[in-house]
Amino acid sequence: MKSNPAITTQLSYLVSIEKINSPRMSAILKVYSKVLKTMVDILLDKGFQWILPVILAKSTDPLWPDPNFSIEDRIELEIYGTRVKTMQSMIVHKRVLVSLGPPKIFTLSPNIRIENRERVATGRHLYEFTQLDLEIAYGKMDDVFRLFEELVKRSIEVVSKEMEEELKIFSRELRIPSTPFKVFKRRWLIEKYGEDWEEIISREFEEPVWVTDIPRQFYDYEDVETGEWRNYDLILPEGYGEVLSGAEREYEYEKILKKIERDGLRREDYKLLLELAEKRLLKPSAGAGLGVERFIQYICGVKHIGEVQPFPRIPGIVPDL
């Protein structure tokens, strides 16, 4: 990729001490606290258990096959003579926990994904970011829709009402979305808008929308008869794009095994998940993960996601801190 001098100057500012010291950064950090408190309070009130994250594990999200997949490296290291990976998402851990432990859980989970360095230009990718990641045993798609509609709408309302001063710093006029959000099928969007549907609907629609039926990782539920996937993304307006992915989940041993093989994955990497499924201990569930930095980026109306991290993890750039 040719370097554009304007982008290069902006990027060096994003990783500078001056940025950490700026009124915009302090306003962004206040927005984080407000939004996280709002969302965590709602979840705790609804009886979710707050789980602390895991970072190193033998098993993590394969991130494959996902239409948005573009990582240039997977970090593996050896501890105590055993190979482990850094967390790409806690999906496997969430599935096991809601099956054997509390039925409703959430975590703020750091994910390490060494995104292709060209993604510096998207303004939406980081190589370390955080998911507000939750799972509900026996949950359904609609339960997750209603829950995240409340989390998203309430966060926007609270920031609009209580953080006028901060929003002024970004010249941000936030629109409070109406709920429920509209739901579209991916196949219909492709017919209408072509393969770039995500970018187009994100620019054209004025409210967040749900998109369902996206062929991807083995753990999302696929209806074999209709070929429909019971999964979903939440797309934000104003060009901010996908902020959340989630699904109802597979729980049957034979089906999971077949899909793992179809995707060319190693079954040893999902040993415990498969064992539980084989013993019929893997419960059906539904869940989703919201990209916290992307959501804050949207709320503040910031152009590059690197701006919302005090210590940015921008693809291709390794700063001093």
Which of ligand AMP, Mg ion, none does 184 bind, CB closer than 5 to 8 A by kind?
Answer: none
Q: Considering only residues 11, 189, 243, 247, which one is a binding residue for ligand AMP as defined by CB under 6 A?
A: 243
The entry of ligand AMP, Mg ion, none near residue 139 (CB within 5 to 8 angstroms by kind) is: none
> In whole angstroms, how close is the CB of 225 to ligand AMP at the nearest point?
26
User: 10 Å Cβ neighbour count for 80?
Assistant: 5
Would you say 31 and 299 are in contact if contact means Cβ atoms under 8 Å apart?
A: yes
Chain residues 78-97 in contact with ligand AMP, contact rule CB under 6 A: 89
Element (H, E) at 86: strand 82-86
Nearer of residues 148 and 159 to Mg ion, judged by Cβ: 148
Order of strands, sheet of 82-86, starting from the edge strand that comes earlier in the sequence: 56-57, 82-86, 76-79
Residues 130-189 that bind ligand AMP (CB under 6 A): 131
Nearer to ligand AMP by C-beta: 212 or 245?
A: 245
H/E run at residue 43:
helix 23-45
C-alpha distance from residue 190 to each of 97, 182, 207, 305 (Å)? 36, 17, 19, 27
Contact status: 217 vs Mg ion (CB under 5 A): no
Dist. CA 175–CA 163, nearest whole Å? 14
* Residue closest to ligand AMP (Cβ): 291
Piece of the chain touching ligand AMP by CB under 6 A; list 9-17, 27-35, 250-258, 291-299: 291-299
Exactly one of 245, 285, 297, 309 binds Mg ion (CB under 5 A); that residue is 245
- Residue 109 makes contact with ligand AMP by CB under 6 A: no
Compute, in degrees rounded to 10, the torsion defined by CA atoms 34, 36, 41, 46: 140
Q: Is the peptide bond before 5 cis (omega within 30 degrees of 0)?
A: no
Work out whether 111 is an interface residue with Mg ion (CB under 5 A).
no
Q: Check residue 297 for interaction with ligand AMP (CB under 6 A).
A: no
Backbone angles phi and psi of 24, in degrees to 5: -65, -45
Which positions lie near ligand AMP, rule CB under 6 A? 89, 113, 115, 125-126, 129, 131, 242-245, 289, 291, 293-294
